[in-house]
Structure 1
Amino acid sequence: MSNERAEFSKRLATAMTAQGYEPRPGVLSTQFNVRFNGASVSFTTASRWLNGGGIPEYEKLVALADWLKADPCLLLFGDRAGRGKREVRQVKEDALTYDDERVFDIYRRLPQTQQKAVCEVIMAFAASSSKLTSLAKPGAVTKAKRS
């Protein structure tokens, strides 16, 4: 279980409790499906969200946040972006370049409302990028044309 998924599941459970719901998969799937206009969420998916096994797609994350009266970025990322100081983490990927560091430093100094706007733009790009990736898979174009 990745740390991000575990942290997300804790924040989701806390948000559910704060709104008077028991953080259980049955409650989550039922309450979510009543409010979401897209494809319904199974008990298993809700269980993964609550047990650190998965994170919802962007549209479902936004719907969760609306239902639970939470900020989608805070629900997904927590307050780690707004802490003002860096956490010490081991990074297994390539080191950040100077420009990356500079951009992150600027982001951290932004007011929370502006950090939220930047986060929403990034989430929108990620959502559109994932749609483009799914269209690039073999057979996806023919399925898209039939719809």
Structure 2
Amino acid sequence: MKFAERLHAALINAGYEPRPSVLEREFNLRYWGKPLTLHAVRRWLRGEALPTEDKMLVLAQWLRIDPQTLRFGDEVPERIGREIDQLSALAHHERETLEAFLKLSQPRRRLVSEIILTFVQAEASQS
């Protein structure tokens, strides 16, 4: 549904009516692959389906919006930026520990994760 809302807003911002017939016509003028049906674009506008990556790129270029923003919204790049900031703020030994953790096999990672979560729960119950 959120993609459909972003698609509606992008169409309006680009000066188009957010109607299936408009989207079908304008999209097919720009898309080099098999033309889309009215039913397919209607599903996009209703939030019932997402376009494939190639179609998302055409939509983004046409509507002059970042494809990642069209698909995921603004919150994803912001969240990724916050996570990168958090990782860069780690002390050297903490980064080394994380790098070592990532070198472990999947079963050992799961075990270490469970141990850490147990410590976190114990810490929270003491507070």
Would you call these one fold, judging by a TM-score over 0.5? yes
Q: Alpha-carbon deviations, 1:31-71, whole Å to 9, x = none? A: 00011111111100010000011000000000000000010
Indicate if the aligned counterparts of 1:84 and 1:108 stay in contact, CA closer than 8 A: no
- For this pair of structures, how many residues does the alignment match? 87
The correspondence for 2:67, drawn from 51, 59, 72, is 72
Query: Higher Cα Rg: structure 1 or 2?
Result: 2
Q: Alpha-carbon deviations, 1:85-126, whole Å to 9, x = none? A: 9xxxxxxxxxxxxxxxxxx8228889xxxxxxxxxxxxxxxx
Report the structure, 1 or 2, having the larger helix content: 2
Could you say if the C-alpha distance between residues 107 and 34 of structure 1 is closer, same or farther in structure 2, counting changes exceeding 3 Å?
farther
Moved over 3 A (4+): 82-85, 107-110
Residue type of the partner of 2:4?
S
Indicate if the aligned counterparts of 1:33 and 1:41 stay in contact, CA closer than 8 A: yes
The correspondence for 2:84, drawn from 106, 111, 123, is 106
- Give TM-score, length-normalised by structure 2: 0.63
Q: Where do 5+ consecutive residues of structure 2 fail to align?
A: 89-127
- Give TM-score, length-normalised by structure 1: 0.54
Q: Alpha-carbon deviations, 1:14-39, whole Å to 9, x = none? A: 00000110000000000000111111
Residue type of the partner of 2:68?
C
Corresponding residue for residue 8 of structure 2: 13
The correspondence for 1:31, drawn from 9, 26, 34, is 26
Q: Identity rate of aligned residues, in percent?
A: 38
Q: CA RMSD in A?
A: 2.4
Corresponding residue for residue 107 of structure 2: none
Indicate if the aligned counterparts of 1:65 and 1:72 stay in contact, CA closer than 8 A: yes
